[in-house]
């Protein structure tokens, strides 16, 4: 009986050890410097093949340098009122081939990537109403008493929401060290990929002020495209004026490099 119990225990321990070595959880160190928490999970699905996924979240925060200089914002009522909030999400599934097996040593991998970033801003500035806009003002509206009827100006709060979405994929070369069969160091030293992006922005004004958004669309489109003219591929922006907003979108694609360093546990 003792021999049977001993055999069962040894089998259980061995089996547990085998299964334990199939999973790894990692923390990407490079993302911490960018203000993001990026966690990876990898599982052995064969002797030399693993599958995994990385999920990263940018901690919502303000970008301190996103603010106009005083000399370029003369029409702002209060530059302190310019605020922003940045956040993002990254998801990267991947497969790897380890020639040595057991999820260690050099590897060749393939990955896909989806990411979404958002930057929400608002700022207070002085807006000069056109004659048509001024004549369309509603005397019963809350904003009416805030209008300077001599200069036909009003202080407005502009909300601008920026979005950037990325779809991509590529090949990854790296090396993974397994220390004491438990600790993992994963260095993806070089990856080559291709990414398709869509950048967009939407401007709205708080309140029901009758602003003629469509009349600004073409000028805004021309200004944005001037700034994009020197970029690779010469991406083109499209700006559309709606009844209550001004929307811009810019699709573009670029090759990309990928590199990372992560540490973790295998269990």
- Residues 57-93: tens digit of each pLDDT: 998 877 765 554 444 444 444 444 556 788 999 999 9
More confident residue, 212 or 176: 176
| Average pLDDT value for residue range 234-253 | 94
pLDDT for position 69: 42
pLDDT for position 126: 85
pTM: 0.80
pLDDT for position 65: 55
pLDDT for position 3: 53
Contact 35, 61 (CB under 8 A): yes
- pLDDT-derived band at 26 (thresholds 50, 70, 90) equals very high
pLDDT at residue 237 tops 50: yes
pLDDT at residue 261 tops 70: yes
More confident residue, 111 or 157: 111
- pLDDT-derived band at 200 (thresholds 50, 70, 90) equals very high
pLDDT at residue 233 tops 60: yes
pLDDT at residue 13 tops 50: no
pLDDT at residue 190 tops 60: yes
pLDDT for position 95: 98
Domain ranges of the chain: 2-266
Specify whether the backbone of 180 is left (phi greater than 0), alpha (psi in -120 to 50) or beta. left
Torsion of CA 257, 88, 245, 254, to 10 degrees: 10
pLDDT at residue 234 tops 90: no
| Average pLDDT value for residue range 251-257 | 95
pLDDT for position 37: 95
- Residues 121-171: tens digit of each pLDDT: 888 888 889 999 999 999 999 999 999 999 999 988 888 899 999 999 999
pLDDT for position 82: 58
Q: Give the whole-angstrom CA distance, residue 234 versus residue 51.
A: 37
pLDDT at residue 9 tops 50: no
- Tokens 């990692």 correspond to 26
pLDDT for position 52: 98
Two tokens, residue 33: 């410097």
Best CA proximity match to 89, nearest among 165, 201, 34: 165
pLDDT for position 236: 95
Percent of the chain surpassing pLDDT 90: 64
More confident residue, 75 or 215: 215
Best CA proximity match to 263, nearest among 190, 187, 175: 187
């Amino acid at each position: 009986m003792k021999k049977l119990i001993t055999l069962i225990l040894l089998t259980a321990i061995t089996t547990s050890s085998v299964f334990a070595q199939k999973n790894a959880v990692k923390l990407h160190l490079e993302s911490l410097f960018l203000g993001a928490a990026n966690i990876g999970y990898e599982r052995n699905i064969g002797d030399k093949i693993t599958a995994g996924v990385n999920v990263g979240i940018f901690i919502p925060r303000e970008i301190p340098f996103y603010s106009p200089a005083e000399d370029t914002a003369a029409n702002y009522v209060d530059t302190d009122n310019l605020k922003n909030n940045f956040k993002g999400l990254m998801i990267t599934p991947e497969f790897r081939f380890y020639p040595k097996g057991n999820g260690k040593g050099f590897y060749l991998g393939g990955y896909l990537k989806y990411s979404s970033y958002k930057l929400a801003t608002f700022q207070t500035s002085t807006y000069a109403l056109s004659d048509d806009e001024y004549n369309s003002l509603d005397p019963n509206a809350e904003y009416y008493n805030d209008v300077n009827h001599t200069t036909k100006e009003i202080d407005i709060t502009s909300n601008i929401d920026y979005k950037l979405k990325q779809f991509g994929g590529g090949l990854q070369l790296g090396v993974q060290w397994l220390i004491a069969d438990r600790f993992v160091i994963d260095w993806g030293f070089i990856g080559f990929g291709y990414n398709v992006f869509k950048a967009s922005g939407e401007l709205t004004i708080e309140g029901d002020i009758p602003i003629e958004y469509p009349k600004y669309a073409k000028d805004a489109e021309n200004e944005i495209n001037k700034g994009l003219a020197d970029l690779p591929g010469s991406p083109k922006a499209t700006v559309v004026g709606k009844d209550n907003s001004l929307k811009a979108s810019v699709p573009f694609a670029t090759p990309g490099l990928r590199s990372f360093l992560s540490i973790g546990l295998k269990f």
